[in-house]
């Protein structure tokens, strides 16, 4: 049983007429997804929805998370070929799968996952590495880390789901374990491009709950201009509810033994 508390929300932003982001929350599968579509009205939102729904169906069938994302790439290509959405539509994706106290993150594009560990010396840790042009420049030594957030071509991604140039995509993954106070945050670049990691960390530190954190992160991105669609999912360490259920189970066992005696 997957028992993480979570909160997820999306906002069209202040400068777009439609929302091409998509989020999926399936706690029964231990699965959360954020997808950021591209391709214009009636296309980007089609692509991101296909991505999210394909990942859900594939995981439900027992396929590994990376394979599920790879198959969502094929699903977008197939849909476009059949006239659904539009030619050239695509989407990024970042997905979280929780199994007990362990998790896996998989992604394509520049939607991100962060782990927030308030008891760490560096509470906010970016788990994903953007598939972007500026990230490629940084890794090659052409630009400094300080230039990542200010480079004029920072929004150019190097691969996306549905790209007609790619028979398959490179799905990166990272595995980890939860700490007892940890949260994992998934977001589209409408958040990460709008506010700094320092601001994200401050909001999480002061939030008190995943619901407040989600709301305040979106509000901060809107206050910064809301240039893009903004989607945020915050998932809490799953052990808190597990401990409550174990305590209830132990009480029930004790009552049963008393009645039996």
Q: Which residues sit opposite 187 in a β-bridge?
A: 112, 232
CA distance 64 to 250: 34
User: How do residues 93-134 score in pLDDT, each as one tens digit?
Assistant: 999 999 999 999 999 999 999 999 999 999 999 999 999 888
Contact in structure between 161 and 92 (CB atoms under 8 Å): yes
Q: What is the pLDDT of residue 232?
A: 98
Q: What is the pLDDT of residue 149?
A: 73
Q: What are phi and psi of 243, to 5 degrees?
A: -65, -35
Beta strands 90-99 and 124-126 are unpaired
CA distance 143 to 181: 35
Q: What is the pLDDT of residue 134?
A: 84
Read off the tokens for 12.
């069209």
Beta strands 31-38 and 112-116 are unpaired
Read off the tokens for 106.
């998989």
Residues of the chain with pLDDT under 50: 1-2, 241-258, 260
Q: What is the pLDDT of residue 103?
A: 98
Q: What is the pLDDT of residue 140?
A: 82
Q: What is the pLDDT of residue 137?
A: 87
Q: What is the pLDDT of residue 246?
A: 44
Q: What is the pLDDT of residue 242?
A: 44
Q: How many helices (H) and strands (E) does the chain have?
A: 7, 10
CA torsion angle for 42, 165, 60, 5 (degrees, to 10)? Answer: -70
The pTM for the full model equals 0.88
Q: What are phi and psi of 107, to 5 degrees?
A: -155, 160
User: How do residues 171-198 score in pLDDT, each as one tens digit?
Assistant: 999 999 999 999 999 999 999 999 999 9
Q: What is the spatial order of strands in the sheet that 112-116 belongs to?
A: 6-11, 230-236, 183-187, 112-116, 124-126
Domains of the chain: 6-260 (3.60.40.10)
Q: Alpha carbon of 56 to those of 29, 72, 198, 256: distances in Å?
A: 8, 10, 32, 40
CA distance 20 to 42: 8
């Amino acid at each position: 049983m997957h028992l993480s508390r979570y909160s997820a929300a999306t906002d069209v932003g202040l400068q777009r007429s439609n929302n091409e982001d998509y989020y999926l929350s399936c706690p029964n599968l231990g699965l959360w997804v954020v997808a950021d579509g591209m391709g214009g009205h009636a296309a980007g939102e089609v692509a991101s929805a296909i991505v999210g729904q394909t990942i859900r169906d594939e995981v439900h069938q027992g396929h590994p998370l990376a394979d599920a994302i790879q198959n969502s790439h094929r699903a977008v290509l197939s849909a476009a070929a059949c006239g659904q959405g539009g030619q050239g539509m695509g989407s990024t994706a970042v997905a979280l799968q929780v199994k007990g106290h362990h998790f896996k993150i998989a992604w394509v594009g520049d939607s991100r996952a962060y782990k927030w560990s308030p008891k760490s010396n560096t509470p906010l840790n970016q788990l994903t590495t953007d598939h972007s042009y500026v990230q490629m420049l940084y890794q090659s030594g052409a630009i400094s880390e300080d230039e990542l957030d200010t480079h004029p071509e920072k929004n150019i991604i190097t691969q996306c789901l549905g790209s007609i140039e790619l028979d398959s995509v490179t799905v990166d993954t990272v595995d980890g374990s939860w700490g007892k106070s940890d949260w994992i945050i998934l977001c589209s670049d409408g958040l990460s491009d709008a506010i700094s990691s320092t601001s994200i960390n401050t909001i999480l530190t002061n939030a008190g709950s995943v619901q407040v954190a989600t709301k305040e992160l979106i509000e901060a991105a809107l206050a910064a201009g809301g240039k893009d669609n903004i989607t945020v999912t915050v998932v809490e360490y799953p052990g808190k509810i597990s401990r409550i259920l174990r305590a209830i189970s132990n009480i029930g066992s004790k009552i049963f033994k008393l009645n039996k005696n």
